[in-house]
Amino acid sequence: MTEIVLGCGLRKRDRPCPAWRMYQGPVFRTALRWSLSVAALPDIYILSGKYGLIPSEMVINPYESRIGTPSQVCTRASVAQQAAALGLDRRRPLLVNIGKPYLAVLSLPQYDLLIDYMDLPDTRYGYQGSWFKQYHGRLPGRLAALTESAA
């Protein structure tokens, strides 16, 4: 089983909906598309500036809060409690498009960092999109081996 934590997105719908439908930016949508190619929707979680660490199917309201800014609502302690309630503190989720401010509040004892868009050789969306397209339906080398050994 592959579990994935995605960072939320800046562009949002203007009405309540499941978290996976809320974020409308191209980077989030591309990361979600890839995530759905390797994991089921119930195994995908989203780290949000307002709601913290939530299941992707949770219905949320639109908001204006970003992690790493004064508008941030969630804290390291509240996200740790959410991770424990979701059982993610006992597993090794893959973190996808989780930037440094998000890592600062995500307190998991173990995880496999799959991709932080800031660590790619080229941070432009086109490069990110091509990376996700290249690995659509599969995990890159090292992570594929880790996932197989954990099964």
Confidence of residue 16 (pLDDT cuts 50, 70, 90): very high
Q: CB under 8 Å to 15, separation ≥6 — which residues?
A: 62
Domain that holds residue 97: 4-141
Does residue 151 lie within any of the structural domains?
no
Residue 103 belongs to some domain of the structure = yes
Residue with tokens 């941070």: 123
Over the stretch 35-91, which tens digit does the pLDDT of each residue have? 999 899 999 999 999 999 999 999 999 998 888 888 778 888 898 899 889 988 777
- Over range 26-31, report the average pLDDT: 88
Number of residues that make up the chain: 151
68 inside domain: yes
Residue 146 lies in a domain: no
DSSP strand pairing (52-55 vs 44-48): antiparallel
Maximum mean pLDDT: which of 1-5, 75-79, 104-108:
75-79
Any domain includes 150: no
The tally of domains found in the chain comes to: 1
On whether residue 54 sits in a domain, the answer given is yes
Whether residue 123 has pLDDT greater than 70: no
